[in-house]
């Protein structure tokens, strides 16, 4: 490995995973990585952009798939600058950036394949209901957003939240409790 890891505690501090979890993630990451490379190679050959066989050319400073997985997990755990990331893995800042943005989609595809990523979008209410089956409590968080202040006095009064700053407004129109299920929906007014 590029970074010498002494024990399980150090790996956990650098990546958020134990050695057992890392080793469990590695085979699927490797499978997804190799499939991604093969697909990119086939596409480049078909487009006539590839001269060498798969695996030809300059060798990566992250030689093993374990190094690649450690690299991307380290970034998402620590969030260092690309200068620091490059220094840790013996890469130039630009190569650290390139490697991260090549490996991030592969990590995401790995987590999706293992069923570890939450579903982000639902097309129907039934899909949402099915995904929330067995969930006792749902918390929805909202953030105030800036909007342009209305010029008409009547509209200004309607949008005034009681705060001294008139630039952000949060509306809580629905706030009800059903058993342990708490639902709060926030409607934020867009700039007019």
pLDDT along the chain (192 residues), means of 10: 82 92 94 92 83 77 92 94 93 94 94 84 86 83 76 81 58 44 42 46
Strand pairing category for 181-187 and 171-178: antiparallel
CA distances from 73 to 70, 104, 120, 184 (A): 5, 9, 21, 34
**With helix as H, strand as E and coil as C, how does 96-132 read?**
HHHHHHHHHHHHHHHHHHCCCCCCCCCCCHHHHHHHC
Task: Answer for the pair 88, 80: CB distance below 8 angstroms, yes or no.
Answer: yes
Query: pTM, whole model, 2 decimals?
Result: 0.65
């Amino acid at each position: 490995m590029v970074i010498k890891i002494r024990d399980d505690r150090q790996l956990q501090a650098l990546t958020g995973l134990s050695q057992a979890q890392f080793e469990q993630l590695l085979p699927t990451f490797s499978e997804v990585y190799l499939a991604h490379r093969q697909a990119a190679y086939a596409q480049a050959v078909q487009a006539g952009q590839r001269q060498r066989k798969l695996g030809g050319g300059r060798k990566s400073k992250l030689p093993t798939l374990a190094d690649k997985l450690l690299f991307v997990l380290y970034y998402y755990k620590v969030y260092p600058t690309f200068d620091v990331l490059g220094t840790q893995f013996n890469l130039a800042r630009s190569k650290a950036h390139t490697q991260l943005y090549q490996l991030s989609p592969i990590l995401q595809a790995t987590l999706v394949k293992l069923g570890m990523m939450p579903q982000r979008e639902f097309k129907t209410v039934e899909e949402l209901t099915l995904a929330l089956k067995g969930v006792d409590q749902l918390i929805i968080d909202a953030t105030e957003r800036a909007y342009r202040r209305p010029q008409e006095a009547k509209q200004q009064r309607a949008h005034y939240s009681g705060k001294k700053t008139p630039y952000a407004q949060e509306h809580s129109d629905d706030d009800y409790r059903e058993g342990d299920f708490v639902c709060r929906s926030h409607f934020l007014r867009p700039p007019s």
